Chain A
Amino acid sequence: MAATATYPPPPPYYRLYKDYIQNPKSAPEPPPPIEGTYVCFGGTYTTDDVLPSLEDQGVRQLYPKGPNIDFKKELRSLNRELQLHILELADVLVERPSQYARRVEDISLIFKNIHHLLNSLRPHQARATLIHILEQQIQRRKEAVEDIKRRREEAQILLKEALGTLDGQ
């Protein structure tokens, strides 16, 4: 007795593409890109991938808010804070061992802030990568233009020489 279920059949849309070779327009267009939120296998997903701010996750933000954050300065000061807190935890464990929880919470808060700062550097990195790629592409295109110009000139010279030799006969 068959204990396994068979796979579902493929969707029947393939019939719509019967004359695709003759007339590419007779078949339906691919579906347009989804915008907004969509449901996939029972879970909702969003197309707008933005990093949720710290408040949204219920985490206190230790570095100053504002349009332009000086990432290097904030990362360095958070690093110093982290070291101080680790030292404080060591002290607390020696003197008053039962009060470790508060210190551990502070340390994890600092870690969350550091990771959030690093994550918010990623869009900047993406744009910088895009700039780099565009610059490289412009460079390659300029080189190709120069190459073609040079080859055309060489071809002209060759043709003139050939004409000269032919006329000389």
Chain B
Amino acid sequence: MDIISQLQEQVNTIAANAFNTFGTLQRDAPPVRLSPNYPEPPAANPTEDAAANVAEQPKLMSATLVKAAKQFDLLVAALPLSEGGEEAQLKRIAELQAENDAVGQELQKQLEAAEKELKQVQELFSQAADNCLNLKKPD
């Protein structure tokens, strides 16, 4: 995949990681005490959520986010933006077209000369073969 498409994919990956991060954290967060008047929220049954996931998920997901951002920076550094300017590119294209035309004409010339020689040789060969067939002495 070309570099720009890779960059676009990477941006979308960063976006997906971001909303997955926030969504997961918001969904799995334990309830918090709102005000001193209300009693503690009922302690949720310590299922799989307890300790293990709730503490690790932010670390894992933020590490993913940071890695994705670093990958994006890497890809940006790999962009082959040679020189500045649309004009420079257009000038180079014009030069290349002129050179292409010149080389094309030379190719055409060589091709025509080669075909002419081929015809001559074929002609001579058929004459020689005829002479051989008719047992005439070669001049």
Contact = CB atoms under 8 A, between A and B. Distances in A.
A148 B80 contact: no
Interface residues of A, number: 41
Nearest to A129: B2
Interface residues of B, number: 43
A134 B85 CA distance: 19
Contacts of B50: none
Interface string B66-88: 10010011001101111011100
Contacts of A3: none
Contacts, number: 93
* Consensus secondary structure, chain B interface: helix
A86 B4 CA distance: 23
Nearest to A69: B84
Interface in A88-129: 89-90, 93, 107, 111, 114-115, 118, 121-125, 127-128
A148 B14 CA distance: 55
23 contacts: A68-B84, A71-B79, A75-B72, A76-B73, A79-B72, A82-B69, A114-B11, A118-B7, A121-B4, A125-B2, A125-B4, A127-B93, A131-B92, A134-B96, A134-B97, A141-B104, A141-B107, A144-B107, A145-B106, A145-B110, A148-B107, A148-B114, A151-B114
Given A141-B100, A148-B111, 7 more contacts: A82-B14, A115-B8, A131-B93, A131-B96, A137-B100, A138-B103, A155-B121
